[in-house]
């Protein structure tokens, strides 16, 4: 019953927050104006800038921000107990994460769709702009290398997910043409596409796509295929692939989340899902090598409560597509609350769900419930303890374990509805892969924007070209992903294609650090307009101090610090990123006293050609 109460209580809290705190910020602080001219109309080019109905843009925004972060992060965080993870997800999403995404979106909307890095140049200083863009570049490079490898690993671990993920691409292109070129409604075609995707999940469970061993390392092959797709997705018009693909995926993901919630209710009512009897609310003992709860709980959960990557989606793609300023609360604040709800479901799945039974893939590719020594199904605390491999320590809990914890628990919830286990596993595996894939291609487009902005600042003319900028972003990400990971203590040399996972420890701290800097930009925007900033100040300070604290621990910890262990790539990226952060904070402190009530320099007037609005075009 506790499982149900937590799920319902969390969801009601998110709904209440949207209609109270979110509405106050929208109407009293930012004063959203339905008559304001937005970038999608000002600069419409039908490639990056295009007015879009809020239902479609919500689908794009939510699926882009909800990558594997809100799945992998909470799956790890329950090592410290499910209660601290739950509290941070709920209150962090409402008071920090949603405010961060919403604020970044509004500030970008009022600055012609510029990224927060570019806006920092006018709100703070020119040096702050360069520093922010460099931090964005490093952060997105890490995100691309990690997420590309994560999806490739999911395809290898769960080959039943491959068909459904890839079949969405041609369906999206067809729907994109239907909606944009012929003015057709996207809703019904996208629902039909969802039915085809679920049919593909069933087919995938019967005929999984497994690359032959003779082809080489499957993870490496999938990584190259994924980044080839990302290059194309980044340079194509958003209406052709990005918007319709995300719209289709949003329906698919909503169906999966609805099934998970229904499974939680059924399993909670019949007593199969026992949160209290499965995992500790607050862990009294933690596995060897586990970092301290402070600050690593907040850094580990990352996207489940607040994510700096979201400011890039808000200001990089979503702000260029919103057709009405009033839609910003629905898209920016609302999508983050839904991601918080997803993180709550992940926590419950990784605890109560895993406790419903462990299963493992058999030699024939099918799954079977793991039995204990007495020949009984492994359930409850024993199942959870087995999945989390406590005796082997924090470091032994690899990517397969993190994804597997959610797949195990989520599939158990679906099986409570009578869905066959094999199909349940396929649905959850596709859910994870789709979230990651939508984040990957959006991040590639965002990295292209950042590279082009840096190229302008440093006068590197070739990289102002979108094709060359995208090629550079993809090539760098592939190079990092294909690196070898660190050599094991016993001398075992890691294979190629483990570099992205080697970079994973950088993701949490750099991601949260980026969120703190985005808060700083929004704070300066409001301070220059004599608007209240008290509700942003504490989150900003937290998200500057906590990531720096975590990075210092990761760099210099006597047992596993990157400097001590000789992990010089991690140490270099982490150290340079923190140096840029400190420099930007100093820039901000210097300009702070003179910023109050003083508006920043206005954007230059649009040229006559830029002012021309393509009013005859259709909104998606």
Residue 5 burial by CB count (10 A; 0-12/13-18/19+): exposed, middle or buried? exposed
Question: For position 484, what pLDDT does the model report?
Answer: 65
Tokens 């961060």, residue located = 100
Mean pLDDT on 534-563:
92
Residue 515 lies in a domain: yes
Residues 316-338 have a mean pLDDT of 96
Does 492 score more than 80 pLDDT? no
pLDDT tens, 447-462?
A: 999 999 999 999 999 9
**Domain-embedded: residue 617:** no
- For residues 423 and 201, the answer to whether their CB atoms sit within 8 Å is yes
582 in a structural domain: yes
619 lies in some domain: no
Indicate the pLDDT class of residue 618, thresholds 50, 70 and 90. Answer: very low
pLDDT for residue 401: 83
Residue 616 resides in a domain: no
Q: Which two tokens stand for residue 55?
A: 């239902």
pLDDT band at residue 609 under the 50/70/90 scheme = very low
* 567 part of a folded domain: yes
Six token digits for residue 288 = 């060897």
Q: Is pLDDT larger for residue 249 or for residue 273?
A: 273
Q: What is the rounded distance in angstroms from the CA atom of residue 417 to the CA atom of residue 430?
A: 18
pLDDT at 488 over 60: no
Mean pLDDT (the chain) is 89
pTM: 0.92
Distance of CA 208 to the CA centre of its chain: 27
Is 602 inside a domain boundary?
A: yes
Tell me the two tokens of residue 412: 């158990």
Classify residue 605: in a domain, yes or no: yes
Task: Compute how many other C-beta atoms are within 10 angstroms of the C-beta atom of residue 4.
Answer: 19
Highest mean pLDDT among 33-42, 181-190, 493-502: 33-42
Averaged pLDDT for residues 196-217: 89
Domain total of the chain: 1
Residue 427, domain extent? 2-611
Say what the pLDDT of residue 615 is. Answer: 35
pLDDT at 611: 46
pLDDT at site 10: 97
- The answer to whether 433 and 404 are in contact (CB under 8 A) is no
């Amino acid at each position: 019953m506790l499982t149900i109460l937590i799920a319902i209580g969390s969801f009601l809290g998110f709904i209440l927050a949207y209609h109270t705190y979110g509405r106050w910020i929208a109407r009293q602080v930012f004063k959203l104006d339905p008559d304001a001219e937005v970038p999608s109309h000002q600069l419409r080019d039908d490639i990056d800038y295009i007015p879009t109905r809020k239902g479609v843009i919500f689908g794009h925004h939510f699926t882009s921000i909800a990558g594997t972060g809100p799945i992998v992060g909470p799956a790890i965080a329950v090592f410290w107990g499910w209660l601290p993870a739950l509290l941070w997800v709920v209150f962090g999403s409402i008071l920090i994460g949603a405010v961060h995404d919403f604020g970044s979106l509004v500030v970008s909307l009022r600055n012609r769709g510029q990224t927060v890095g570019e806006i920092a140049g006018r709100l703070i200083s020119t040096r702050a702009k360069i520093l922010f863009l460099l931090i964005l570049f490093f952060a997105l490079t890490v995100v691309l290398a990690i997420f590309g490898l994560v999806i490739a690993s999911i395809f290898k671990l769960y080959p039943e997910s491959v068909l459904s993920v890839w079949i969405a691409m041609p369906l999206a292109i067809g729907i994109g043409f239907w909606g944009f070129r012929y003015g057709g409604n996207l809703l019904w075609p996208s629902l039909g596409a969802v039915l085809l995707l679920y049919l593909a999940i069933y087919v995938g469970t019967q005929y999984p796509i497994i690359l032959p061993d003779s082809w080489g390392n499957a993870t490496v092959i999938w990584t190259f295929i994924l980044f080839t797709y990302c290059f194309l997705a980044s340079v194509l018009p958003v209406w052709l692939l990005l918007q319709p693909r995300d719209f289709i995926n949003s329906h698919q993901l909503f169906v999966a989340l609805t099934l998970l919630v229904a499974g939680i209710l059924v399993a909670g009512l019949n007593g199969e899902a026992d949160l209290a009897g499965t995992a500790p609310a607050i862990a009294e003992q933690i596995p060897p090598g586990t970092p301290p709860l402070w600050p690593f709980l907040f850094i580990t959960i990352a996207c489940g409560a607040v994510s700096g990557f979201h400011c890039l989606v808000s200001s990089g793609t979503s702000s260029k597509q919103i057709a009405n300023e009033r839609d910003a609360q629905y898209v920016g604040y609302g999508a983050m609350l839904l991601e918080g709800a997803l993180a709550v479901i992940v926590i419950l799945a990784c605890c109560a769900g895993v406790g419903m039974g462990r299963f493992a893939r058999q030699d024939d590719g099918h799954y079977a419930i793991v039995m204990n020594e007495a020949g009984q199904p492994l359930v409850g605390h024993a199942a959870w303890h087995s999945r989390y491999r406590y005796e082997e320590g924090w470091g032994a809990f690899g990517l397969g374990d993190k994804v597997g914890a959610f797949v195990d628990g989520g599939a158990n919830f679906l099986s409570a509805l009578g869905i066959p286990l094999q199909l349940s596993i396929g649905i959850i595996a596709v859910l994870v892969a789709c979230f990651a894939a939508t984040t990957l291609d959006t991040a590639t487009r965002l990295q292209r924007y950042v590279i082009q902005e840096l190229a302008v600042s440093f006068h590197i003319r070739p990289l102002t070209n979108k094709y060359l900028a995208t090629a550079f972003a993809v090539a760098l990400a592939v190079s990092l992903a294909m690196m070898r990971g660190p050599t094991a203590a016993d001398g075992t040399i890691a294979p190629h294609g483990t570099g992205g996972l080697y970079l994973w420890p950088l993701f949490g701290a750099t991601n949260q650090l980026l969120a703190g800097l985005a808060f700083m930009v929004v704070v300066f925007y409001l301070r220059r307009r004599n608007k209240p900033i008290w509700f942003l100040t504490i989150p900003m300070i937290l998200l500057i101090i906590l990531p720096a604290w975590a990075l210092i621990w990761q760099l210099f910890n006597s047992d596993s610090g990157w400097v001590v262990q000789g992990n010089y790539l991690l140490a270099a990226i982490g150290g340079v990123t923190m140096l840029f952060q400190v420099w930007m904070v100093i820039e901000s402190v210097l300009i702070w006293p003179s910023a109050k009530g003083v508006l920043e320099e206005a954007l230059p007037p649009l040229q006559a050609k830029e002012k021309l609005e393509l009013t005859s075009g259709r909104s998606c």
